[in-house]
Structure 1
Amino acid sequence: MDLVVNADHWNPFVVLGPHEMEGQNGRRKSWVIRAFLPEARAASLVDLAGGEPGRLVPMEKLHPDGFFQVIVADRDAAPRYRFRIENFEGHSWEQVDPYQFGPVLTDFDLHLLGEGTHLRNYERLGAHLRMHEGFRGVHFAVWAPNAQRVSVVGNFNHWDGRRHQLRNRGATGIWEIFIPDLTAGEVYKFEIKSRHDSYLVQKSDPYGFAAEFRPKTASVVWDLSQYRWADDDWMSNRAGRQGLDKPLSVYEVHLGSWKKRWDQAGGFLNYRQLAHDLVAHLQHTHFTHIELLPITEHPFDGSWGYQPVGYFAPTARHGTPDDFAYFVDHMHQNGFGVILDWVPAHFPNDLHGLGYFDGTHLYEHADPRLGEHRDWGTKIFNYGRAEVRNFLFGNALFWLDRYHIDGLRVDAVASMLYLDYSRQPGDWVPNMFGGNENLEAIDFLKRLNEICHQEHPGILTIAEESTSWSGVSRPTYLGGLGFSLKWNMGWMNDTLRYMSKDPVFRKYEHGALTFSMIYAFTENFVLPLSHDEVVHGKGSLLDKMPGDVWQKFANLRLLYGYMYGHPGKKLLFMGDEIAQWREWNHDESLDWHLLEWRDHEGIFKLVCDLNALYVSERPLHEVDFDWQGYEWLELHDWENSVLAFLRRAKDSKDSMVVICNFTPVVRENYRIGVPVEGYYREVLNTDADIYGGSNVGNHGGVHAVPEPHGGKPYHLSLRVPPLGVLFLKTPQPPPPEIERLKPHQG
């Protein structure tokens, strides 16, 4: 009784609730019913043996802090009952005893959770509305193997950790309780008292489906089954739309700063409003997918979501879980895929989060050489622990399952792969073979990709991996990590370094452009111009460009044209399409007013047209990951800083010539060898007047001249615009007025 009253009992279900007493002298069984009701001055049992409204039986108060008991005699089965409580202010009410219910989790659940193979762990742990033994309420369950006691606390029990102490399920370390009559919207936390030094803490639910709006930190009971999806067409055809031979042009967005509203706290738009506004924007710009910076609940706006606490909860900054479901649903109904940035590499130190969860280093390594990111001030998951791996596996599957997410971009993969990542000598622990590879994390990533692709065929997994690790986007059965795609950080760094040079010096850096083709087909690459390139003093993309204002815009158009011609899927961060002058600030909206200016409007039109061309023209996306889709036409002209190459579709008959001039000098009568005769139609010119350019071009196209050049039987004689890119479709029937201008041999 003292242990219960002081909230120190390891399993209060062996004391509280109904317990059988053997009958005396052949009589039927009796039952003792005990309750801890610290708010009660007096309590009675409402005996429902005879039906409603029940018979009141006074309970004996055995402890002044509110421990009550009553004996019910002559019952073969446990009595049906509830309590009638009178508090010290004279108010009274009736409530059902949560300690009269049996466990919800089965032995098979416990077995799978214990060995880390329960792929639907989010359906068993956390808070779930359900019917149990004839009553509707909420089932709570949490993993805390080193706890002496776990309680669920909330407004419903005045945040009193003595009230709803959970049932201990033994060696699995799982605790659970079913509380009747609770409904969706209840806020709660788990109060954990550790066996180590009586450490006492209140934690938000690791599996909580919803959370309070910051700075509040409690979890919120939510029923995810209430939302009715209407994206059957997208889901049934998704695998075909997301193949590696399909166009993938990604618009990366931070929802909190894409647009702001100033009539509410934080200026955050609701997921539903964002859905409609973003769909309209994507329809205009012709991106195929949107990628969201992490929308999992996080306490600090300045982390942009990369330090999550609520791994299963869409952030309350933009509304409810149903609102986020509507966001994804609306995207799908309008033909756009949704990719989430997902963070399994680390988690923050916030007191209500995963760190030191049950008074021990439960989710993280105890050794700081393995368990801490010093640079980021975060904890590293213990990938060698089955329950931790299962937590992350279940979390990945949760977003794919419950929210129909189309892909996960896994953040900071390099930090997971290397034990010495951003560490000084002596500040890391080698693996069992003496190397710096994190064998447990590698195995975790392989298994993660296998599970995700097995359970949800057609989804994408994308690695942000910044090193030369081999086989990131190769199948695990070939020794790879199993990702669908990998960000090409090398291409991004080399290209931006080259583009930042004054054009007069670019000829000395020509290799920075051609080098990417040495390794372009070693992985399934995405070409990223992401948020990381426009923060922390790096300036915006426009601001990185050299020269006067005209040259800055021309260089930006050149960068985008080169990017869309280069093999690899595409990614642009929000604001890049309007050529922001200032770098991204998460506290402020994008500078949409810039579109009132012709140069910014020109960049916007170019991005729209590049996406439309990329999506419609098979040579630009069908063979992104094989040499069969690419051929150099000019790579050695470093003196003029000109590159030219051919992109081919699968059938090799449909192709596109791309010519890039990285200087502000017009190249007159510039020869490019081509393999096929015919009329080459100029389908896009980044120097066109509508984009803000000087309108240097080729009057819609040119005929191939039947004279060899550069090892090809034909050549094109072109006007190549300054700081411009030409896309020429090959071969095309010329317009009638052009046919008569066809060149003749000699």
Structure 2
Amino acid sequence: MLETSKEVLEAEQRFLTGENFYVQHFLGLRKNENGYVFRVWAPNARQVYLVGDFNGWDESLPMEKREKSGVWEISTSLPEEGQLYKFLVEQANGRKIMKIDPFAIRFEKRPGTAAVVYTIAEKKWHDNLWRGRQKKTKTLKRPMNIYEVHASSWQHYEDGQPYTFDELRKELIPYVKEMGYTHIEFLPLMEHPLGASWGYQLTGFFALSSYYVTPEEFRDFVDSCHQNNIGVFVDWVPAHFCINEDTLPYYDGTPTFEYEDPNRAHNIRWGTICFDLGKPQVQSFLISSALFWFEVYHIDGMRVDAVSSMLYLDYDEGPWQPNHEGGNRNFEGYYFLQKLNAVIKLAFPQAVMMAEESSSETKITGMIESGALGFDYKWNMGWMNDVLRFYEMDPIFRKDNFHLLTFSFMYMMNEHYILPFSHDEVVHGKKSLMHKMWGDRYKQFAHLRNMYTFMMTHPGKKLLFMGSEYGQFLEWKYDEGLEWGNLEDELNKKMQTFTAKLNALYKQERSLWELEDTAETIEIIDADNTAESTLTFIRKSKTKKDFLIVALNLAPIERQNFAIGVPYPGSYQEVLNTEKTEFGGTWTKNNTSCQSVEQPFKQFDYQIQTILPALGALIIKPEKIHTS
């Protein structure tokens, strides 16, 4: 809280220069000894009034303008906790319009849009042990398997009401723990007026959506996650905002949060408005929002949505002008993202910053000093698109398109990647992951188990959208709960069992993540057997004898006496067979232990032979080997 006029002046100056990263302590609603002080940035407004149910929504509370910054302010003892308010803005052209408080931390339930006079209660956290562990080891050296969740549609009541975060704390956390995921990632939780946007068209960048009940409940949810060794990520959208005129657009009647150039301000593709990322005040606003979620809610990381739209001037469908160098780089967006990551890492070194970005022209992860944006991870959209195309394909054509499965090995070290099968792939007629798979129902589940094994053993962190873990057949619907009734079907239930087994194996086997940031993490055994559509490779740990062999069969033909090159002589034991009956397959037991023979295979002096199930995947581990 700002106590003195000197502190207020300093906060104002930092806001104007884009260096106030806790701007919510200056703007918005602040409690003081005499009641409340309200401040809002509207530099070109003729007049601004504080209105609410404490003054009949009339013009009896005019605000005064701070000429230096264009911030309007008023102190009053009239409001009480829980009452509603807005700002009545007389815009530059004389038009009067009710506007939200951009810095509000609470809004009334939609379809209402007024802010709430609200103070988040103090909390005693119980996650020191979790937070301490996160500081000790970088995430690159730890397993990361993310369960992506849309909070209001994970489960519904019969009357259509979603679970509150208190109810999610009791139901979702035990489920995620039982399934073996390491993190939960939520689609945006910030205030948004339309559920159909899934939270990607925000209005309140500091406010937990009132749809999910109270901020205190979400804090308790995060605290409980941490006590159960589960991290929490949230999606955040600094690229654009909701076009509703009572929210941020043209706040004082002139471009305020948005670009002056209407072609840059309006995002035609999404029907939204783009932030002017070069404006210092906007930088203060957005970076303060990001830090707020880390500080107040103890989240562990953020996925920044739509990064490409912030990097390239020609990303949208409308006309665009080249930059001063004649290219398509949006320098304001580029430098803003570097600044965002630098500030967050300074305040929270253990924070995980992730980018949803689909181009290859800009280095996304890595040191800012090297020209990268400073993110920890980038979603590997190319891998996801290629893999889904491959698994949707009739196997007869796979031998001619095997590059879709193997091309990612060529660039897997270019960035630090997350391999995402996200919400975007199971909506708008794209079908669910299970429904995408080729073949009849039995083969679809076999493909899904195979594909998940490839994801889990391919270098990169993992992300899977809710419902996909048990093979939900219907597309995801944002306004309905998941099809939990599917689990009454034996194949769905066994698919869920398989996913939990695979998740547990991933966490257990250090070779799947310990060297993930180095090329030594993987050695290809055979990526050339396109005729039989098989792929084999090794994942390695720091310990010489600790590695896994992965064998994938992408054809509906069982491969007898299947040869696999191995680095050392000895015996090898199968630890996962995707075609076991417990997972929905037909195999009642694993292959027997394999003894190596001294026979060259590719770069190896030894090989083993096993049976590779039709459309199956095997994970094989050294049992007794000789490395000398």
Q: Same fold (TM over 0.5)?
A: yes
CA distance in 1, matches of 2:480, 2:404: 35
Question: Structure 1 residues 715, 338: closer, same or farther in 2, change over 3 A?
Answer: same
Q: CA deviation at 1:699?
A: 3.1
User: Quick check: 1:406 aligned with 2:300?
Assistant: yes
Tell me the equivalent position of 1:344.
238
Tell me the equivalent position of 1:605.
497
Q: Which aligned pairs between 1:543-554 and structure 2 lie closer than 5 A?
A: 543-554=435-446
Amino acid at match of 2:252: D
Q: Which aligned pairs between 1:282-293 and structure 2 lie closer than 5 A?
A: 282-293=176-187
CA distance in 2, matches of 1:512, 1:262: 43
With 509-518 and 620-629 compared, the bigger mean Cα shift is at: 620-629
Equivalent residues of 2:121, 2:216 under 8 A apart: no
Tell me the equivalent position of 1:203.
99
Tell me the equivalent position of 1:489.
381
Tell me the equivalent position of 2:76.
179
CA deviations 1:6-64 (Å, max 9, x no partner) are: xxxxxxxxxxxxxxxxxxxxxxxxxxxxxxxxxxxxxxxxxxxxxxxxxxxxxxxxxxx
Q: Which aligned pairs between 1:580-659 and structure 2 lie closer than 5 A?
A: 580-659=472-551
Q: Which aligned pairs between 1:529-540 and structure 2 lie closer than 5 A?
A: 529-540=421-432
Of the three residues 544, 553, 577, the one matched with 1:685 is 577
CA distance in 2, matches of 1:503, 1:172: 64
Tell me the equivalent position of 1:274.
168
CA distance in 2, matches of 1:126, 1:697: 64
Q: CA deviation at 1:498?
A: 0.6
List runs of 5+ in structure 2 lacking aligned partners.
Answer: none
SS in 1 for 2:506: helix
List runs of 5+ in structure 1 lacking aligned partners.
Answer: 1-100, 735-741
Equivalent residues of 1:697, 1:721 under 8 A apart: no
Equivalent residues of 2:8, 2:26 under 8 A apart: no
Of the three residues 358, 383, 392, the one matched with 2:286 is 392
Q: CA deviation at 1:229?
A: 2.1
CA distance in 1, matches of 2:19, 2:44: 21
What is the aligned residue count? 624
Question: Structure 1 residues 103, 352: closer, same or farther in 2, change over 3 A?
Answer: farther
User: Quick check: 1:416 aligned with 2:310?
Assistant: yes
Of the three residues 599, 602, 611, the one matched with 1:719 is 611
CA distance in 2, matches of 1:238, 1:221: 35
Question: Structure 1 residues 104, 155: closer, same or farther in 2, change over 3 A?
Answer: farther
Q: CA deviation at 1:169?
A: 1.5
CA distance in 2, matches of 1:232, 1:224: 21
**TM (normalized to structure 1)?**
0.82
Equivalent residues of 1:129, 1:183 under 8 A apart: no
Of the three residues 198, 214, 231, the one matched with 2:127 is 231
CA deviations 1:264-304 (Å, max 9, x no partner) are: xx512111111221111111110000000001010001000
Tell me the equivalent position of 2:116.
220
CA distance in 2, matches of 1:204, 1:483: 32
Q: CA deviation at 1:626?
A: 2.0
CA distance in 2, matches of 1:678, 1:282: 38
Of the three residues 15, 22, 34, the one matched with 1:120 is 22
Question: Structure 1 residues 359, 105: closer, same or farther in 2, change over 3 A?
Answer: farther
Tell me the equivalent position of 2:418.
526
Q: CA deviation at 1:610?
A: 0.9
**TM (normalized to structure 2)?**
0.97
Q: CA deviation at 1:148?
A: 1.6
Q: CA deviation at 1:262?
A: 3.1
Equivalent residues of 1:152, 1:165 under 8 A apart: yes
Question: Structure 1 residues 306, 104: closer, same or farther in 2, change over 3 A?
Answer: farther
Equivalent residues of 1:152, 1:166 under 8 A apart: yes
Equivalent residues of 1:145, 1:171 under 8 A apart: no
SS in 2 for 1:398: helix
Tell me the equivalent position of 2:43.
145
Q: CA deviation at 1:415?
A: 1.0
Tell me the equivalent position of 1:324.
218
Tell me the equivalent position of 2:140.
244
Tell me the equivalent position of 2:63.
166
Amino acid at match of 2:10: F
Tell me the equivalent position of 2:276.
382
SS in 2 for 1:211: coil
CA distance in 1, matches of 2:449, 2:170: 28
Percent identity of paired positions between Structure 1 and Structure 2: 41
Larger Rg: 1
Tell me the equivalent position of 2:155.
259
Equivalent residues of 2:511, 2:539 under 8 A apart: yes
RMSD: 1.7
Q: CA deviation at 1:552?
A: 0.9
CA distance in 2, matches of 1:208, 1:703: 66
SS in 1 for 2:332: helix
CA distance in 2, matches of 1:626, 1:178: 57
Q: CA deviation at 1:104?
A: 9.0
Q: Which has the higher contact order (CA 8 A, sep 6+)?
A: 2
Of the three residues 188, 191, 210, the one matched with 2:85 is 188
Equivalent residues of 1:355, 1:363 under 8 A apart: yes
Tell me the equivalent position of 1:542.
434
Tell me the equivalent position of 1:560.
452
Tell me the equivalent position of 1:498.
390
CA distance in 2, matches of 1:356, 1:282: 42
